[in-house]
Amino acid sequence: MSRPQPLVAVLYRVPLLCEALSSVLDDIAHVQAFPARRGDPVGLLRSIRPDAVVVDDRDEAESARRWAKRHHVALVHVAVREQTIDILRNGCWEQRPGATVESLRNALAESLFGRGDEAR
């Protein structure tokens, strides 16, 4: 039996972000999208227990931060308009320029499949 694909939860304000992510994560992860700003993002994450979380809303990203750190789950904040990606590393945000779909895929792949646990 093949191993199930990791689950990437996308909390979005921009629905098209999910489309962009689906286009590059098709083969490596299962993407599940949820509208942001509907309250209690931590409760949602606790329920679905994703392997990685992508958020395009700064406030939601901050809300998810503590949970992601505690559960060693990869968390990526995409600032769509500013074209930057923030990756949670050891509880702190590390910013990377250029929010392309490829850089997003690479950041998630690194977090999901990278060797060692420093990516989380």
Partner 1 sequence: MAKTTTLWQKGVGGRGGYKLSRTRILIADPLTIFRAAVVHVLVRESDLEVVEAANFDEVAAQVGSACPAIALIDLELPPNGGVEAVSLLSRLCSTRMIVWSFAPTRESVLAAVRAGADGYLHKEISPAGLVRSLRGVANGEAALSRDLATLMIDAIHSLEQRDRTRERMSVLSLREREILDHVATGARNRQIAVALTISEFTVKRHMQNILRKLEVPTRRAAADFYRTAQAELLESAV
* 110 residue type, one letter: E
User: Does residue 75 interact with partner 1 by CB under 8 A?
Assistant: no
Contact residue for partner 1 among 5, 22, 84, 106 (CB under 8 A): 22
Q: Binding to partner 1 by residue 80, rule CB under 8 A?
A: yes
Which letter does DSSP use for residue 12 in this model? E
Is there binding between residue 17 and partner 1 (CB under 8 A)? yes
Paired strand residues for 116? none
Task: State which of residues 5, 7, 14, 96 lies at the interface with partner 1 (CB under 8 A).
Answer: 14
Positions of E strands within the chain: 7-12, 30-35, 52-55, 74-79, 84-89, 92-97
Q: For the sheet containing 7-12, what is the strand order?
A: 30-35, 7-12, 52-55, 74-79, 84-89, 92-97
SS3 108: helix
Among the listed ranges 7-15, 44-52, 67-75, 107-115, the one in contact with partner 1 (CB under 8 A) is: 7-15
Output the smallest distance, CB 82 to partner 1, in A. 10
Contact positions vs partner 1 (CB under 8 A): 13-17, 19-20, 22-24, 78, 80-81, 83, 99-101, 104
